[in-house]
Amino acid sequence: MSKELNTVYIGRKPTMNYVLAVITNFNSSNTKEVTLKARGRAITTAVDVAEIVNHRFMKELNVSEITIGTEEIQQEEGGTRNVSTIEIKLTHD
């Protein structure tokens, strides 16, 4: 979970950890919307989390919005590099 309300940042943990975070967020706070955020190689995990939650656990969820983009990251050696990002908004009716 993150400091931002109703946002789950996807990283290197196992997929089911994030699935549990999404389900817990929807159930504990009576939330109508949860956002998954990921960048780089974690994008595939974010898509997996959205699909697992939607098809296995909470069939009433909808993917309301998907936003893709690019962030410029500063490298330690100097210079910058571009990293892809994704935000997936899951909504509960």
Q: Supply the pLDDT for residue 2.
A: 45
- Here the tokens at position 27 are 């159930």
Q: What is the domain-level CATH number for residue 63?
A: 3.30.110.20
Instruction: Please list the pLDDT of the chain residue by residue as tens digits (93 residues).
Output: 444 678 999 999 999 999 999 999 988 877 889 999 999 999 999 999 999 999 999 988 999 999 999 999 898 888 999 999 999 999 987
50 three-state secondary structure: helix
Within-domain flag for 40: yes
Q: Supply the pLDDT for residue 4.
A: 65
Q: Supply the pLDDT for residue 92.
A: 85
- Here the tokens at position 28 are 């504990």
Within-domain flag for 73: yes
34 three-state secondary structure: strand
Give the domain extent around 87. Answer: 7-92
Q: Supply the pLDDT for residue 28.
A: 81
Closest CA to 35 of 68, 69, 12, 5: 5
Number of domains in the chain: 1
DSSP letters for 40-81: GGGHHHHHHHHHHIIIII-TTEEEEEEEEEEEEEE-TTSSEE
Within-domain flag for 1: no
